[in-house]
Structure 1
Amino acid sequence: MKPNLKKTTLFLMGVFAGSLLYAQTPDSAATKDYVPPFSGGKMLNTWSVGVSGGLMTMYNILSSNHLSDFTNPKSNFGYGLYVKKQFLPALGIQADFLRGKLSGTGAQPDVTNPLTSYSTQINWGGSISAYLTFANINWRSARPVVQPYLMFGGGIINYTPVIQHTGGPDIPFKDHNGTHSIYETYIPVGVGAKFNVTNNLSIDLGYQINFVNADNVDGYNHGSNNDKFSYLHLGLEWAFGSSKKPQMATHNPVSSLRTEYLNGDLANKAALQSEIDAQKAKDDQIKNDLANTNAQLAKLSIDSDNDGVVDANDKCPNTPAGTKVDGSGCPLVLVVTEEDKKVLKDAIKNLEFDFGKATLRSASLPSLDNVAQLMTGKNFSLKLGGHTDSRGSANLNMILSKARAESIKAYLVSKGVNASRIEAVGYGQTQPIASNKTDKGRQINRRVEFTLY
């Protein structure tokens, strides 16, 4: 990344953050974000975690490229993780983890050590930092939309530089102790802004300069200044706890004082509200009693199942439509006569299907018409049980027996029989009444049983 482009990016970041510096949520959020003054942190979310990603480079706003060990620093990807504990609305302590890569070309001339470029892996950096949040105190608004912040801290960083000489291979840099994986202390300092999305979610835009207590981050001890690198990042921060609680970092305690003042004496208001609620409860009870009385009166004329007996006297509610009942609303006991049984026997005797199918043949229909007439005339219910012999697969036989029973049901319904009074069941080859080893036995087993009730 060229210096002019980097400076332009940082300038735009500042303009964007500054334009929203004092942006606040409207007063309508005051009640939602209200927390009793001086209640401490128990009503606020104080723990959060965050992730970030962005550009890591030796270029920074505090130094010039032509004075650096390498005059042409490159930009590489870096990322970070952190956990933060907020102690005050304006103060939080954060544990950071940082990882990424640094590289560059154009080494300062050195006759004894002619370098061309370097590549350093930041294996990890761990630090503890203080975060100072601004612009979250306002008399007129409940909660800030943007929270500018400053941060500074200290920690330990581990990195492994690799340098390239003119015309030579990559060489792992080693410090004066002969160590390639180098540990040093460093001080991170930064600025940024948090943009609130929800009570528990914020967008983090920041710029951080990391001052390393060594001049070998790039594998080149040139000059008298220690190395430092920058981290321009964009990330997300999630707060632990209930989404109904505000974050301490975004909470405006002054707004809660204002809400307390505008509401007046909350204790008297609560007492008055309690009296109003008690009277409302009495009114609701009177309405409920009246509704119950009306419901009881209505029962004297309601016949839910339309059987001619009102519900108050109906001892057998929810009888099927068309069922003949006695004076207490219970179904009359139907007697199956010998003549009725003969109708069923004729239907079973004359029942024919196409071979291997559920299609009724025309010879079956006159007898089935008599069954339909019997059922509609006497309000009988009918169970149809389909059976097959053992030839063929058990699964196909089960399907065929069910289909044949359903075919008979469909025909009877087409003749005016109530479908709810017919149950069609398939048993396949599971219930033989004769031997399946003979043609006659198999013919007997291929049947549909009719049961009136």
Structure 2
Amino acid sequence: MNYSTLKKTAALSFASLLVAGMASAQTDSTKTGSAKLFGGIGQYNTFSIGASVGVTSALVPFSINSTNKFKASLGYGVSLRQQLSHTFSLQLDYLGGKIKGTDKAGTNKYGFTDFETTYNAGSLSGVFNIASVSFLHRENAVNFYGSAGLGLDFYKPKSYTRAVDGLVYPPYPKTVKELYAPVGVGVKFKLSDALALNFGYTISFVQGYNFQGFKTYPHQNRYSYSYGGLEYTFGPSSKKNLEWVNPVAQMYDELYDAALRAEVEALKGRVTNVETAVNDLKKDSDGDGVADQFDKCPGTAAGSVVDGSGCVIVFPKPAADSVVAKPTAYSNIQFEFDSSVLRTSSYPVLDATSADLRASGKGVEVDGFASSEGTAAHNMSLSKDRANSVKTYLVNSGVDAKKVKIKGYGETMPIADNSTEEGRVLNRRVQFKQK
């Protein structure tokens, strides 16, 4: 493919892309589609083709240049790109054209005053969107980007010296092949969701010393390409172009999605129902310490002593002329339903038991028991806790801890019928076994 054919091909591609972009611009670019924030890349259009034309130059900023006068030439390019995320894409590039250079004063820095090089280059680059998220606009309309890549540059240089006897050419009859690294920056303007206007500047660093047709060692060659062009993104109009999607706006839309908000409100209602049910379980209308759902005797008078089912415990009244007996040591200690907390009414028996143990120096075994409600494993644990409560009281009152042993028997060895509440009350106990 000669230089003239390349120019015609680039021009035809550019014109075709412009027509396609104008047609695309007629479509609705405000569709949001059904893309979800973490729904994957398949929700978007990601493949793009671009064409560009521009000006090439042998003069590169911040570099040691082989010639000193700007001499513009035509450059052109075609690209194929896939957007892999909001901020990163991979791009294949073809660049072609001519590079010209001249020393305005004829200084012959490297032995020649002028050169002209025809080149065709291909590379793979990573493109980084610098401003892919906008906090000021719902839809991005301008993207700044940077790129860097690596490829092969096929070029045919020639150089000459301005002299009275004509042109002097170096021996470069064949095309030279070298590695090169294109590095660039640019800005892209959104014309529609599928079409963008692109302006950029790229410096190509050639891994060689003869791009200008004369040896420039130890300074490697480089040239620049300033361009403008169009880029078209393929795909159905129902999908958004990933490059222009603003993830901040997308997240906002998802949070305020009607279906999601309805689901949140439904969840709030379920939580409220659970809280109401829990409060109902804890409700104790008569204040006797037994929840309504377990209270078999609702409406007991305030201050009444009740058992685990909420019924008043009736104690026989002593005769008027009787003498109240002193609490008997080692009597059984009774407990409330599913509780290992000592009743205050147990303190006199425990105090008498403590006094006898401290005076006699004897040991004692404290055996805990439970009624038959609940599982056997739970009742076994509860009976041990009850025995421990009694031991703790005795030890705190001065009894040697080594003299007090505990055992739990759970719901085994009942002393009353577990099928009646009166029997179950008696079975919730601790017994003493003197040693």
- Structure 1 residue 187 and structure 2 residue 177: aligned? no
Amino acid at match of 2:49: V
Contact 2:255/2:261, CA 8 A, preserved across alignment: no
Q: Residue deviations 1:221-269, cap 9 Å, x none?
A: 1352101100000000000101332211111122111011123543848
Q: 1:261 aligns with which of 248, 251, 255?
A: 255
Partner of 1:59: 59
In 2, Cα distance between the equivalents of 1:237 and 1:93? Answer: 14
Residue 166 to residue 136, structure 1, CA distance change in 2 (3 Å): closer
In 1, Cα distance between the equivalents of 2:226 and 2:176? Answer: 24
In 2, Cα distance between the equivalents of 1:140 and 1:259? Answer: 15
In 2, Cα distance between the equivalents of 1:236 and 1:188? Answer: 20
Q: Which structure 1 segments of 5+ residues have no match?
A: 1-28, 273-453
Partner of 1:47: 47
Aligned-residue offset at 1:110: 5.2
Q: Which structure 2 segments of 5+ residues have no match?
A: 1-28, 267-435
Partner of 2:99: 102
Contact 1:31/1:259, CA 8 A, preserved across alignment: no
Q: 1:120 aligns with which of 111, 117, 121?
A: 117
In 2, Cα distance between the equivalents of 1:94 and 1:62? Answer: 26
In 1, Cα distance between the equivalents of 2:140 and 2:93? Answer: 25
Equivalent runs, 1:388-403 vs 2, <5 Å: none
Amino acid at match of 2:92: A
Contact 2:209/2:216, CA 8 A, preserved across alignment: yes
Contact 1:139/1:258, CA 8 A, preserved across alignment: no
Q: 2:156 aligns with which of 157, 160, 173?
A: 160
Amino acid at match of 1:120: T
Q: Identical aligned pairs, as a percentage?
A: 27
Aligned-residue offset at 1:136: 1.7
Q: 2:129 aligns with which of 106, 119, 133?
A: 133
Amino acid at match of 2:210: N
Amino acid at match of 2:160: Q
Q: Residue deviations 1:403-440, cap 9 Å, x none?
A: xxxxxxxxxxxxxxxxxxxxxxxxxxxxxxxxxxxxxx
Equivalent runs, 1:340-379 vs 2, <5 Å: none
In 1, Cα distance between the equivalents of 2:171 and 2:209? Answer: 12
Q: Secondary structure at the match of 1:249?
A: helix
Aligned-residue offset at 1:73: 3.4
Partner of 2:73: 76
Aligned-residue offset at 1:85: 0.7
In 2, Cα distance between the equivalents of 1:215 and 1:81? Answer: 26
Partner of 1:245: 239
Residue 170 to residue 248, structure 1, CA distance change in 2 (3 Å): farther
Amino acid at match of 1:188: P
Q: Secondary structure at the match of 1:74?
A: coil
Partner of 2:201: 207
In 2, Cα distance between the equivalents of 1:60 and 1:52? Answer: 20
Amino acid at match of 1:254: V
In 2, Cα distance between the equivalents of 1:80 and 1:203? Answer: 14
Comparing 246-255 with 152-161, greater Cα deviation is found at 246-255
Amino acid at match of 1:51: A
Amino acid at match of 2:202: Q
Residue 114 to residue 173, structure 1, CA distance change in 2 (3 Å): closer
Residue 68 to residue 265, structure 1, CA distance change in 2 (3 Å): same
What is the TM-score of this pair, normalised by structure 1? Answer: 0.48
Q: Residue deviations 1:101-130, cap 9 Å, x none?
A: 11111187459x7423111111x1000000
Amino acid at match of 1:96: D
Amino acid at match of 2:129: T
In 2, Cα distance between the equivalents of 1:58 and 1:199? Answer: 36
Runs of 4+ in 1 over 6 A off after TM superposition: none
Residue 68 to residue 138, structure 1, CA distance change in 2 (3 Å): closer
Aligned-residue offset at 1:57: 0.4
Q: Secondary structure at the match of 1:220?
A: coil
Residue 196 to residue 61, structure 1, CA distance change in 2 (3 Å): same
Contact 1:46/1:87, CA 8 A, preserved across alignment: yes
Partner of 2:219: 225
Report which of the two structures shows the higher radius of gyration computed on alpha carbons: 2
Residue 73 to residue 220, structure 1, CA distance change in 2 (3 Å): farther
Partner of 1:35: 35
Residue 190 to residue 94, structure 1, CA distance change in 2 (3 Å): same
In 2, Cα distance between the equivalents of 1:213 and 1:204? Answer: 28
Residue 185 to residue 126, structure 1, CA distance change in 2 (3 Å): same
In 2, Cα distance between the equivalents of 1:114 and 1:200? Answer: 51
Residue 30 to residue 165, structure 1, CA distance change in 2 (3 Å): closer
Partner of 1:216: 210
Q: Residue deviations 1:44-75, cap 9 Å, x none?
A: 10100000000000112222xxx422122311
What is the TM-score of this pair, normalised by structure 2? Answer: 0.50
